[in-house]
């Protein structure tokens, strides 16, 4: 359900009830201006699908996307595209999303000129300024993607997203492909950019260590549903949901994150045929008969701290 907060926030409710695969099942998520929300879960939990829905890259069988108080999908495509330039997505693999035959000048500078934000004569200065902002030498603007390191390509991807003056960045595993030392640098860049440009982030990651670094609020998903949502400090200090607790006890420190991070007991069930009741019940150490029969709903167990578990009554 969407509440009155939708009027001031970037809100979307999403679901795919009609689909065979319930990648995202009846999820509502509001991200407030200036907030950094970390969206965490194992692969296949639907977090990427949710991110793609938020930016309009993935259709919903039901639900509503709100952006700055407007139901964005009600607008004609051309108007919608312009309105939602303020929402940009940054992907895990910048190499795959950067055209190998385009120079950085065009990769970064094309969209702002197309959308009339910058004139053709201003384009070069504009791109140089963006490269500088993301910590790249502006002299690199004649280069092609293959002439950059992985970390530099991540910065090019960020510069491209920033080029259309976004307010809300959806980052899907934006540092997952990078070496750990480079990850920390790029995360610091995200934090600096948020402060300098008043950005709002939805930061999608399988890695609680990454999210801990920069989130104000953390949302945990399991098999297409939100199981817990709380201020970041509270998630790390007093997690409520048994799945979150399991994630926390199996999460390595950022420095050693190359170690496979999911040590939660048992296999992830197939999203094609999720367990009944609480999806987590086959893996949960606290499962009771009710857990396989009845879906737990999200309850506010402390201010702004929501959890979907029958242990809360
Ligand atoms: Fe475990 Fe039951 Fe809570 Fe699900 S509802 S997390 S199975 S105790
Ligand atoms: Mg993913």
**Would residue 120 count as lying in a domain?**
yes
Report the nearest atom of ligand 1 relative to the CA of 292: 7
> Residues lining ligand 1, CB < 6 A?
241-242, 278, 280-281, 284, 286-287, 291, 296, 309-311
**Would residue 274 count as lying in a domain?**
no
**Would residue 202 count as lying in a domain?**
yes
**Would residue 296 count as lying in a domain?**
no
Q: In what order do the strands lie in the sheet with 62-67?
A: 27-31, 10-15, 62-67, 70-71
Residue 126 is part of a domain; what is its CATH number? 3.40.50.300
Q: Which of 225, 275, 276, 288 to mutate to test the pocket of ligand 1 (most atoms within 8 A of CB)?
A: 288
pLDDT at position 267? 67
Range of the domain at 178: 4-238
Q: How many domains does the chain have?
A: 1
**Would residue 262 count as lying in a domain?**
no
**Would residue 243 count as lying in a domain?**
no
Nearest CA to ligand 1 atom 3: 309
Burial class (CB in 10 A: 0-12, 13-18, 19+), 122: middle
Report the largest interatomic distance among the alpha carbons of the chain, rounded to a whole angstrom: 68
Which residue stretches of the chain have pLDDT < 50?
Answer: 1-22, 253-263
| CB of 223 closer than 8 Å to CB of 279 | yes
Other Cβ atoms closer than 10 A to 116? 8
pLDDT digit string, tens, across residues 200-259: 999 999 888 888 878 999 999 998 899 999 999 999 999 999 999 988 887 554 333 333
**Would residue 249 count as lying in a domain?**
no
pLDDT at position 110? 96
**Would residue 206 count as lying in a domain?**
yes
pLDDT at position 13? 45
């Amino acid at each position: 359900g969407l509440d009155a907060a939708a009027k001031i926030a970037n809100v979307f409710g999403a679901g795919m009830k009609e689909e065979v695969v319930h990648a995202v099942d009846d999820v509502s998520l509001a991200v407030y201006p200036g907030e950094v929300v970390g969206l965490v879960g194992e692969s296949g939990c639907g977090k990427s699908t949710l991110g793609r829905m938020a930016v309009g890259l993935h259709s919903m069988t039901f639900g509503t996307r709100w952006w700055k108080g407007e139901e964005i999908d009600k607008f004609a495509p051309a108007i919608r595209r312009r309105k939602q330039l303020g929402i940009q997505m940054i992907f895990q693999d910048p190499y795959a999303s950067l055209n190998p035959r385009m120079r950085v000048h065009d990769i970064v500078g094309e969209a702002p000129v197309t959308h009339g934000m910058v004139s053709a004569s201003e384009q070069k200065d504009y791109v140089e300024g963006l490269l500088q902002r993301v910590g790249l030498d502006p002299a690199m603007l004649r280069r092609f993607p293959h002439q950059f390191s992985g970390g530099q390509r991540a910065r090019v991807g960020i510069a491209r997203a920033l080029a259309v003056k976004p307010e809300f960045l959806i980052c899907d595993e934006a540092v997952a492909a990078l070496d750990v030392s480079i990850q920390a640098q790029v995360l610091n860049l995200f934090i600096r950019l948020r402060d300098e440009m008043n950005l709002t982030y939805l930061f999608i990651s399988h890695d609680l260590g990454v999210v801990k670094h920069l989130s104000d609020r953390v949302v945990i998903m399991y098999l297409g549903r939100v199981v817990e949502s709380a201020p970041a400090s509270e998630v790390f200090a007093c997690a409520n949901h048994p799945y979150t607790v399991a994630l926390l006890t199996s999460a390595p420190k950022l420095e050693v994150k190359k170690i496979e991070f999911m040590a939660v007991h048992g296999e992830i069930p197939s999203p094609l045929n999720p367990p009944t009741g609480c999806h987590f019940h086959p893996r949960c150490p606290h499962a009771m008969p009710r857990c396989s029969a009845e879906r737990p709903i999200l309850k506010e167990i402390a201010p702004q701290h929501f959890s979907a578990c029958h242990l809360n009554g």
